[in-house]
């Protein structure tokens, strides 16, 4: 702990470009008014002001699902969930045990668990393209090309410009060879990967582990 407290005094001895990355502890806050703009610094200031001494390590706020939170028109939502990043696990756990206050209202909180991620290179689950060395596969047709490069097989004059809505490409899952995209909720490979992740999240418990 002394090394961490005196970071500048020893880290600079190696390089002035080095820094220590603090651990991030994400927590979900539910039922937040969509009039909040998490992208501006005032959002963090407002949350800190409404929760004195409870969010001193708050560094970032974002919508848990931006697409749903920012929907306009007839499908516009009045409330959605935000994710807050804190660097103090004690603060986060206290927040999870209790609640978060915003604009005079209390909001339920919970630990933000790991989400299932997919690789845009091989279309498998549990890692990203930056970590992947597996053969390239298409999530649309299981071909040996990136999904974004999947093209309609029709002559140029009648060729579809959007492979997502193209009816000429024969859909084939690169993972199970079923007649659906690799990202389909019905894919047995995805279902198995999600079940494994759910088991891990359940085992981790509702609070963050604090190293003493």
Residues 128 and 106 in one domain: no
Q: Give the C-alpha separation, 49 to 98, whole Å.
A: 17
Q: State the residue range of the domain holding 124.
A: 119-183
Q: Give the C-alpha separation, 183 to 179, whole Å.
A: 12
Please list the alpha-helical segments (H only) found in the chain. Answer: 2-5, 7-11, 41-50, 66-69, 89-97, 188-204
Q: Which SS3 state, helix, strand or coil, does residue 12 take?
A: coil
Residues 106 and 45 in one domain: yes
Residues 52 and 134 in one domain: no
Percent of the chain's residues with pLDDT above 70: 90
Residues 105 and 123 in one domain: no
Mean pLDDT in residue range 99-118: 93
pLDDT of 155: 87
Q: Give the C-alpha separation, 26 to 124, whole Å.
A: 25
Taking only the tens place, the pLDDT of each residue in 10-49 is 566 666 666 666 789 999 999 999 999 999 999 999 999 9
| Domain-located, residue 90 | yes
Query: What is the domain-level CATH number for residue 58?
Result: 3.30.70.330
Residues 125 and 95 in one domain: no
**Is the dihedral angle over the CA atoms 25, 27, 76, 162 positive or is it negative?**
positive
Here the tokens at position 191 are: 């279902």
Average pLDDT, the chain: 88
pTM over 0.85: no
């Amino acid at each position: 702990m002394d090394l961490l407290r005196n970071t500048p005094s020893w880290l600079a001895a190696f390089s002035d470009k080095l820094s220590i990355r603090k651990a991030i502890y994400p927590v979900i806050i539910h039922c937040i008014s969509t009039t909040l703009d998490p992208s501006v610094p005032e959002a963090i200031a407002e949350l800190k002001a409404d929760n004195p001494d409870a969010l001193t390590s708050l560094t970032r706020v974002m919508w848990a699902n931006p697409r749903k939170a920012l929907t306009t028109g007839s499908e516009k939502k009045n409330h959605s969930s935000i994710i807050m990043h804190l660097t103090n696990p004690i603060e986060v756990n206290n927040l999870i045990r209790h609640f978060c206050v915003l604009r005079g209202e209390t909001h339920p909180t919970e630990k933000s668990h790991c989400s299932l991620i997919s690789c845009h290179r091989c279309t498998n689950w549990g890692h990203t393209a930056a970590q992947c060395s597996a053969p390239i596969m298409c999530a649309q047709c299981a071909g040996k090309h990136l999904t974004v490069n999947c093209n309609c097989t029709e002559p140029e004059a009648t060729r579809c410009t959007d492979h997502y809505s193209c009816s000429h490409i024969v859909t084939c899952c690169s993972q199970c060879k079923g007649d659906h995209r690799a990202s389909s909720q019905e894919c047995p490979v995805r279902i198995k990967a999600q079940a494994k992740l759910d088991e891990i999240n359940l085992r981790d418990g509702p609070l963050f582990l604090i190293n003493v």
